[in-house]
A and B are shown apart, each in its own frame.
Chain A
Amino acid sequence: MNQPLSKDSWQYRGLNAITPGLSYLSDGLIALAEAGHPVVAGSADLQYSNGLVRFAERFPERYTQFGISEQNMVTAAAGMAATGCMPYVATFASFLALLCCEQIRMDVAYCGLPVRLIGHHTGISLGFYGTSHHATEDLAIMRSIADLTVVAPADGPQLVAAIKASANYPEPIYFRIGRGREPVVYEDGVPFEFGKAIEHSQGEQMTIIACGSTVHPALEASRLLKAAGYSVGMIDMATVKPLDRDAVLRAAKRSRLLMTVEEHNVLGGLGGAVAEVLTEEGCGVRLIRHGIKDEYSLIAPPTHLYAHYKLDTAGICAVAEEALRRV
C-alpha cells in the first residue's frame, strides 16, 4: 500500500496545474469561438502550462495537439489560416520566437496569414529552468519580421482584450505573454487597440515606458517616485510593433528623461524601438534602456531574478532615481 502523500506534495498533470493567470488565454479564445469566429488552437505539449486544455475540452474539434514539434505546429497553423481558419498556437516564447523563427517569417508573415502566435513564459519568468527556457531576444527578432504585429499585454484582462481585438485583425500577430503569475493591472478590464499605447500618467522629469510583465512594477515605481516628489509619467506600450510613435514623441516633448523597462535584452526590443523613434525625429532627450544588459540570466527563482536585475518595483525605482539625480 502506498502511503498517502502530504498535502504539500503535488504533481504537474491535471487542470490544477493551470496557473490561474493563464486561464485568460483559453477564456479569450472560447469567447471568440462562441461568437462564431473560425478559431482553432494548437499547442506543443504545453496545454496545461498555457491553459489551452480548457479550450480543448470546450472545443475538441477546434484543437490540435502537436506534441513536441513546434516548427511543424507553426507551419501547420499557416496552412490552417490559408484555408480560412484563425489559428492561435502557443508554446514557450523561447521555442516559438527562436526555434520557429524561420517558419514564422516564411510561412506566417511572408505569406501574410492571420496566424496568432502566443509566446508564453517569456523573458526570464521561468527562473531556474535556465537560459534554454528564457526568451530575452523574442521582441527583437519578431519586431524585425516584416508584416508581423508584436503585442505584449501586461496582464490577463489586457490579453483577453487583445485576443478579442484580434478577431477582426487581418495581419499575423505575435503575442508576448508572461507566466500567468503577474499581478493584475487592469482589474476592471481595458480597451485594446493595436498600435495604441496607454498613457497612465504624465511627468516633466521622466516618462517610464514599459510593456508586458514590467508594466505592473513600472506603474508602481512611477507612483512611488511621484510620492517622493518627482514628476514621473508612465506609458504602457502594449503594442511594440507598430509602435505608437506619437505617444513616444509626446513623452519626449514633455519629459527631460525617458526610461524603457523590459524583461528583455536592452538591444533591439522596446528600448531599441523607442530609441529609433527618438533618433529619427531628432529628439534631444536622453533615454535609459533598462532591462537585461546583453547577457544570459543567472539561475534563481523568478522573483529573485527580478530583484537581481532591478526589474521589480524597488529595482525600477532605484534605477530611475539614480538617473533623476544625475540630471
Chain B
Amino acid sequence: MNSAVSLASTAARHSFDLTPEQVGFLREKAMFIRLETIRLIEIAKTGHYTSVFSAAEIFSALYYDVMNLRRGQPAWEMRDRFLMGKGHAAVGLFPVLADLEFFPKSWLDDYTRLGSPLGDHPDMRKVPGIDFSSGSIGHALSAGLGMALAGRFLKQDFTTFVMLGDGEMQEGQVWEAAIAAAHHRANRLIAIVDRNGYQLDGAVDDVMGIEPLDQKWKAFGWEVHTVDGHSIAALTALLRKLRADDSRTQPVCVIAKTVKGKGVKYMETEPGWHLGYLAPDDAQRAIEEIKGQEI
C-alpha cells in the first residue's frame, strides 16, 4: 500500500469517529428508546420488548446521527429512508418519530387503543415518519430497493436503510431483493441485519440456520461488514462511513451482532421474551436496571 493512500484512509477513518459527547448523546437516546418501549407496552399489555432492545442502538445511531432528516418534516423529499422488515419493533421507533416532531407526542399515550394510528406494526398511511408499512416479514428489502431505484431515476440523492431481522433471512423474498439489488447496483441501499439470534420459536440457528450469513450476502454481490450492534461508537462510525462512501458500486449489508433483550438480564437469557408483558413492579425493576448501566 502506498503511504499517501494509507494516510488518506486513516484520515477518513478518523473523520467518522464520534466525540465522547456524541457517544453520550446517542447512548442517552438508546436508553430513552428502551424506557419508552416499556412505557408503551404497559398501555398495550403485550409487546415485543426484546426486539426493540436489540435494535435500540441501531435506531439511535440512524435517527439521531447518520440519517439526513429534518425535524418536523417527515415527508421532506430528500430525506434518507428507513424501512423495517421486523415491523414488530415499531414500538421502539414511534417515540423517536415523536421526539423528532413528526407527530404529536400525545399520540404515544394512546398506543394501540381503539382508533390509534400506532399499532404493533408501523403503518405509513397513519403515522408520519414511517416510510413504509410493514408486518409481513420479508418485504422490506424489496420496498427499499424500489426506493433506491426510484431515487436514482428521480435524481434524488438519498440513502435507503433497511433493518432486517435475522429470522427474516429465512424468507425467500429477501434473497430475490438481494440478487436484484446487486444486479442493479443499488449502491445507496444499506441493509442492517439485527443479528440477535432469536425468533418466536427459539434460537434462529435451531429453527432454521442461516449461517454463514456474511458469506451469503457476499456471494449475492453485496459489500458486507460485521459490527457490535450495541457499541454505539463503532456502529455509528461504520454507518457514517458507509453513508458517505460515494465510490461504492454495490449495495452494502451490515451484520449487527446484538443481544435480544439487551439491557434486561433475564430477557437476554430467555427466548420466550420475544413477546410478553411486564407487570408494573417488574417493569419498574427493568427500568432501574436499564438506567443503572452503560450499554
Q: Do the two chains belong together in a single complex?
A: yes
Interface residues of A, Cβ cutoff 8 Å to B: 38, 40, 61-62, 64, 66-67, 69, 71-72, 74-85, 87, 102-103, 106-107, 110-112
Of A74, A79, A111, which one neighbours B150 at CB under 8 angstroms? Answer: A79
Quick one: given A72-B176, A79-B132, are A64 and B184 in contact (CB under 8 Å)? yes
Looking across the interface, which residue of chain B has its beta carbon closest to that of A78?
B143
A111 with B173: CB separation less than 8 A: no
In the complex, which residues of chain B have a beta carbon less than 8 angstroms from the beta carbon of A85? Answer: 150, 153-154
In the complex, which residues of chain A have a beta carbon less than 8 angstroms from the beta carbon of B144? Answer: 79
Closest 3 CB pairs of A and B: A79-B146, A75-B142, A76-B146
A82 with B124: CB separation less than 8 A: yes
Q: A86 CB to closest chain B CB, in angstroms?
A: 10
* Bound Cα distance A51, B180 (Å): 22
Q: A95 CB to closest chain B CB, in angstroms?
A: 13
In the complex, which residues of chain B have a beta carbon less than 8 angstroms from the beta carbon of A81? Answer: 146
Looking across the interface, which residue of chain B has its beta carbon closest to that of A82?
B132
Is residue B151 contacting chain A, with contact meaning CB distance below 8 A? yes
What is the interface of chain B mostly: helix, strand, loop, or mixed?
A: helix
* Bound Cα distance A72, B149 (Å): 13
A102 with B180: CB separation less than 8 A: no
Quick one: given A64-B184, A83-B151, A106-B136, are A72 and B142 in contact (CB under 8 Å)? yes
A111 with B125: CB separation less than 8 A: yes
Quick one: given A38-B154, A71-B142, A84-B154, are A76 and B177 in contact (CB under 8 Å)? yes
Q: B153 CB to closest chain A CB, in angstroms?
A: 6
Quick one: given A69-B180, A84-B77, A111-B133, are A106 and B139 in contact (CB under 8 Å)? yes
* Bound Cα distance A75, B177 (Å): 9
In the complex, which residues of chain A have a beta carbon less than 8 angstroms from the beta carbon of B146? Answer: 75-83, 87
B133 with A83: CB separation less than 8 A: no
A83 with B179: CB separation less than 8 A: no
Q: Kindly identify, within residues 178 to 215 of chain B, every residue whose CB is under 8 Å from any CB belonging to chain A.
A: 179-180, 183-184
A61 with B153: CB separation less than 8 A: yes
Looking across the interface, which residue of chain A has its beta carbon closest to that of B146?
A79
Looking across the interface, which residue of chain B has its beta carbon closest to that of A147?
B125
A82 with B136: CB separation less than 8 A: no
Looking across the interface, which residue of chain A has its beta carbon closest to that of B178?
A72
B139 with A75: CB separation less than 8 A: yes
A76 with B179: CB separation less than 8 A: no
* Bound Cα distance A53, B179 (Å): 22
Q: Kindly identify, within residues 92 to 119 of chain B, every residue whose CB is under 8 Å from any CB belonging to chain A.
A: none
Looking across the interface, which residue of chain B has its beta carbon closest to that of A77?
B146
Q: B82 CB to closest chain A CB, in angstroms?
A: 12
* Bound Cα distance A79, B176 (Å): 15
In the complex, which residues of chain A have a beta carbon less than 8 angstroms from the beta carbon of B81? Answer: 83
Is residue B147 contacting chain A, with contact meaning CB distance below 8 A? yes
B149 with A64: CB separation less than 8 A: yes
Query: Interface 1/0s, chain B 253-277, versus A by CB < 8 A?
Result: 0000000000000000000000000
* Bound Cα distance A107, B148 (Å): 16
Is residue B135 contacting chain A, with contact meaning CB distance below 8 A? yes
B153 with A66: CB separation less than 8 A: no
* Bound Cα distance A102, B147 (Å): 20
B183 with A67: CB separation less than 8 A: yes
Query: Interface 1/0s, chain B 120-146, versus A by CB < 8 A?
Result: 000011000001110110010011111
Looking across the interface, which residue of chain B has its beta carbon closest to that of A111?
B133
